[in-house]
Amino acid sequence: MSREIEELQIALRRFAEERDWGQFHTPKNLAASLSIEAAEVLEHFQWLTDEQSRQLTEEQRLKVGHEIADVLLYLLQLSDKLGIDPLAAAREKLAINAAKYPADKARGSSRKYTEL
């Protein structure tokens, strides 16, 4: 695991401990919170066209960035609680996806791997 990830997880543990929030940070509650925060990212794009979503104002980018940070922080807390190295899991999943979606078959297609 990267040092920066570990440092963030330590800071998150300390933050929760200082507030006695550990009692609430079960994997189930963290997964629910992660989903809720991901929906808050989506909310910023809800009524935008594809083109508008590519051209956010600085204020919009800042707000989306804060929501992305919330998603990341809950994801790191969940992975910490479950003893999962999120970078190792991401690398493994990328390799799995590369096998499911070979570039020569998937290039330019949005079809699911079972349809390739």
How do the pLDDT tens digits run along the chain, 116 residues long? 899 999 999 999 999 999 999 999 999 999 999 999 999 999 999 999 999 999 999 999 999 999 999 999 999 999 999 999 999 999 999 999 999 999 998 889 888 878 87
Residues 6+ apart with CB under 8 A from 30: 74, 77, 78, 81
Q: Mark whether 8 and 38 lie in a shared domain.
A: yes
The per-residue pLDDT for 115 is 83
The per-residue pLDDT for 109 is 87
Q: Per the structure block, which two tokens stand in for 28?
A: 């189930």
Q: Mark whether 20 and 37 lie in a shared domain.
A: yes
Q: Mark whether 114 and 73 lie in a shared domain.
A: no
The per-residue pLDDT for 53 is 98
Contact 109/116 with Cβ under 8 angstroms? yes
The per-residue pLDDT for 105 is 86
The per-residue pLDDT for 6 is 95
The per-residue pLDDT for 114 is 82
The per-residue pLDDT for 2 is 92
Q: How far apart are CA 37 and CA 70, in angstroms?
A: 6
Q: How far apart are CA 74 and CA 32, in angstroms?
A: 9
| DSSP annotation of 114 | G
Total domain count, the chain: 2
SS3 102: coil
Q: Mark whether 65 and 11 lie in a shared domain.
A: yes
Q: Mark whether 26 and 52 lie in a shared domain.
A: yes
Domain extent at residue 32: 3-84
CATH number of domain containing 14: 1.10.287.1080
Q: Mark whether 23 and 62 lie in a shared domain.
A: yes
